[in-house]
Structure 1
Amino acid sequence: MRAERTGPLRLFARLRLFALLAIGGAGPAPAQPLAPPPLAPPAPPPRSLLGPDGPDPRDRPPPLAPPGSVIPPINRPDPRLEAALRARLFAGPVAASPAAAGDPDQTEWEQARATATRPVCADVGPLRYLHNRVDLDGDGRLETLAVVVGSYACSSGGCSLLIFRDNDGSLELVAENGLFQSPLTVISNRHRGWLDLTMPASLHGAPDGLKELRFDGRTYRPVPLPVAEGTSGPPGTVLLELLPLPFERLGRPLPCGP
């Protein structure tokens, strides 16, 4: 009789154990490792800066200041620039290289300089220079623009404007113009990747509209700029301006020493 009772009890215990094991096996599945995120597609290569007419203007930064503003000239001596100005203006033949040709509409004074020998600095009287820097070609390096004023550097048509670029630490002459009229303005138009410049034009010393300096791949060339009556030309940023000040307060002295 006791064996008959224990049989169902054992069977019940086994069924209960089986149920508990089944319930435990139905628990949450072990966590699966996270799949790595999908790789982003590779970035397209940068668009070439070189277009059919030189560097693409869309890849170039705008002027350093908005149109209508004035970038004050640098009011401190620059020995490297002074040496470059002296090397260009004095002690040697005057004939310009093709890469730095001046205005083709030269005055008699400019024509005389082109056929003569440059005097030494000490023989021309006091000279002063005004300069500024701006990235004209968008390569991240600043070009230097300088105006030299004085009896030797100026005539009835204007004064001497020289534009240099930084070439591995030395200043390389890009353009020279002996008919600079104030102010010199940089505008957003480009030629061959270089920003255009504008300045007043003159005819025998009298104002005669505007002219635009455009880079042709080697130097800046002047081009007459038609301006509608009652307008002042394209908006731009003034880089160099000869204010009505006494000569001794215009820019910095240009020393004659080495």
Structure 2
Amino acid sequence: MRLIPLALIFAPFALAGCSPAEAPASAPATPSAPTAPVAPTAPAAQTNDPTLGTAIATVLGENAASTRIAMKIVGEGEGRIALVYLVGMNWCGTGGCNLVILRPGPTGWEQIGNVGRVSNPVRLLTTSSHGLPDIGVTVSGGGGPPAYEAKLSFDGRAYPRFPSDEPLVGAEGTVVITDADIPPVV
């Protein structure tokens, strides 16, 4: 027995639905060049510091258009940092979203942390490490233990990549970022 490919059996039916090509009503549009991601404007507007907006745009890269951010600048002088909570499919998972931490440097804002698995609220603690404030973040989801707060401490070079598995107990601080700070989807 000889098998006939299905494509040969159904080809006449597929071709019956085709009609001769018609001339387009108007000339086709010229394809435009891809546009570069637009840098977020909210952070720079909040701080009147365009170098912060540039630093955040660098972190976001090609994901700028699909990312919502909640940002807070905390501290003063040498202890000043920007906490930037990133929300979007490239920054969030079942365990939370990313919290980027920046500080002013000689040539603009520099990234000193990109912490994954962070949920809100984010707190600025009254303690500090190596001259920068400790941060309390909520850790939840991802199939882990019930929600708890973990402490992020600067080690002299950077904040840790992931929050500690040790719950933070009894630390004083102030809430600086909540879910209410995240802009709505436009």
What TM-score results when the alignment is normalised by the length of structure 1? 0.46
Q: Could you tell me how far apart the structure 2 residues matched to 1:162 and 1:86 are?
A: 12
Amino acid at match of 1:194: L
Secondary structure, counterpart of 1:224 in structure 2: coil
Of 150, 164, 178, 1:211 maps to 150
Secondary structure, counterpart of 1:80 in structure 2: helix
Shift of 1:244: 8.6
Distance of aligned partners of 1:172 and 1:192 in 2 relative to their CA distance in 1, 3 Å threshold: same
Give yes or no for the alignment of 1:134 onto 2:71.
no
Shift of 1:227: 5.3
Q: Could you tell me how far apart the structure 2 residues matched to 1:226 and 1:237 are?
A: 17
Q: Give 2:173's aligned residue.
A: 236
Q: Give 1:83's aligned residue.
A: 54
Q: Could you tell me how far apart the structure 2 residues matched to 1:181 and 1:166 are?
A: 25
Contact 1:213 1:220 in 2 (8 A): yes
Amino acid at match of 2:165: P
Distance of aligned partners of 1:247 and 1:134 in 2 relative to their CA distance in 1, 3 Å threshold: same
Secondary structure, counterpart of 2:139 in structure 1: strand
Secondary structure, counterpart of 1:155 in structure 2: coil
Runs of at least 5 residues in structure 2 that lack an aligned partner in the other structure: 1-41
Q: Give 2:164's aligned residue.
A: 223
Runs of at least 5 residues in structure 1 that lack an aligned partner in the other structure: 1-72, 91-119, 250-258
Superposed counterparts of 1:1-258, under 5 Å:
76=45, 79-90=50-61, 120-121=62-63, 126-135=66-75, 139-140=77-78, 142-168=80-106, 170-204=108-142, 207-221=146-160, 222-226=163-167, 233-243=170-180, 247-248=184-185
Distance of aligned partners of 1:82 and 1:156 in 2 relative to their CA distance in 1, 3 Å threshold: farther
Shift of 1:240: 1.1
Contact 1:158 1:205 in 2 (8 A): no
Q: Could you tell me how far apart the structure 1 residues matched to 2:180 and 2:115 are?
A: 19
Shift of 1:175: 0.5
- Give the paired residue count: 140
Shift of 1:121: 3.2
Structure with the greater alpha carbon radius of gyration: 1
| Structure 1 outlier segments of 4+, above 6 Å | none
- Percent same amino acid among aligned pairs? 27
Amino acid at match of 2:149: L
Amino acid at match of 1:155: G
Shift of 1:184: 0.7
Q: Give 1:10's aligned residue.
A: none
RCO comparison, higher one (Cα < 8 Å, 6+): 1
Contact 1:131 1:144 in 2 (8 A): yes
Q: Could you tell me how far apart the structure 2 residues matched to 1:211 and 1:225 are?
A: 6
Contact 1:145 1:163 in 2 (8 A): yes
Deviation digits for residues 43-70 of structure 1 (CA, Å, limit 9, x no counterpart): xxxxxxxxxxxxxxxxxxxxxxxxxxxx
Shift of 1:223: 2.6
Q: Let me know the Cα RMSD of the aligned residues.
A: 3.0
Contact 1:212 1:224 in 2 (8 A): no
Q: Could you tell me how far apart the structure 2 residues matched to 1:75 and 1:149 are?
A: 18
Shift of 1:248: 2.6
Distance of aligned partners of 1:146 and 1:245 in 2 relative to their CA distance in 1, 3 Å threshold: closer
Q: Could you tell me how far apart the structure 2 residues matched to 1:81 and 1:148 are?
A: 15
